[in-house]
Amino acid sequence: MRKWVVLLGLLGGGLTGLMLVIFNPLVNDSLQREIVGGGVYRYASSDVYGMHSTTDGLLNIGRLLRGPADFDEAAIRNTVAAVMVLRDSSDTPVAFATRLSASERNSNLLFGEFRTRSYWNVFWPDQGSVYMQSLESRRELLHDGMSSFFLGGEPQAGGDRYMLTMAGEDAGNRIVGISGLYSSATGHYSEVLLNPANDPNIQRGELQLSIKR
């Protein structure tokens, strides 16, 4: 009897600890505010390659549960590469972009850090191009994915909108002009992930750009 009590106590304690780490109310990533106005573009892309961006992928067990990710080489195992077409509010394709991202070095589960660093190259045909970079938080995605899993569903965040881009100087959020009409552009941006649970094979999102040319 005593053994069972000890075992149940250990399991209960472990589970409580895990819940406290993932749902830690004291940890709060500071996220970028949404930018409204003319520079809002939507994307939906199936051309996304690299690590699993599902909850198990964020916890580094995606390879065990879903098999190998797209990249086998150790140096790029935790990266994602994608090509996107950006559409304006009338759903007209106006620009195209590549995004390369990598999980942030030395992220720590205890402090609720599930972060990636993303780099964009956006090209407006016949106009010019910019470079964008920022630190992103996937904490809310993990939080909702785990909640869904504990309630008996898929380990996938079920919300409509997830702001990824972090705020603050450490996030390094910036837009830098590269060429053409945008060669001296500066600014900042936000990225919102849309309906991630709808189809894990298609990544949908919204890019909100604040650019000075």
Q: Which residues bind another protein (CB under 8 A)?
A: 13-14, 17-18, 21, 45-47, 49, 51, 57-60, 70-71, 73-79, 81-85, 93, 96-98, 100-103, 105-110, 113-114, 119-121, 123, 125-129, 131, 133, 172, 176, 178-181
Asked if residue 120 lies in contact with residue 101, where contact means CB atoms within 8 angstroms, the answer is no
Q: What are the C-alpha distances in Å from 206 to residues 65, 76, 84, 153, 188? A: 29, 25, 11, 26, 14
Asked if residue 129 lies in contact with residue 173, where contact means CB atoms within 8 angstroms, the answer is no
Quickly list H helices, the chain.
2-22, 55-58, 62-66, 139-150
26: burial class by Cβ within 10 Å (0-12, 13-18, 19+)?
exposed
Task: Report d(CA 94, CA 106) in Å as an integer.
Answer: 37
Residue 90 or 106: which CB sits closer to another protein?
A: 106
Closest CA to 58 of 206, 207, 193: 193
- Rounded least distance, CB 110 to another protein, Å: 4
28: burial class by Cβ within 10 Å (0-12, 13-18, 19+)?
exposed
Residue 1 or 59: which CB sits closer to another protein?
A: 59
Residue 13 φ/ψ, nearest 5 degrees = -65, -45
- Rounded least distance, CB 56 to another protein, Å: 11
- Rounded least distance, CB 120 to another protein, Å: 8
Residue 161 or 181: which CB sits closer to another protein?
A: 181
Residues 6+ apart with CB under 8 A from 169: none
- Rounded least distance, CB 36 to another protein, Å: 25
Residue 9 or 153: which CB sits closer to another protein?
A: 9
- Rounded least distance, CB 44 to another protein, Å: 9
Radius of gyration of the chain (CA): 19
- Rounded least distance, CB 43 to another protein, Å: 9
Residue 35 or 102: which CB sits closer to another protein?
A: 102
Residue 42 or 77: which CB sits closer to another protein?
A: 77
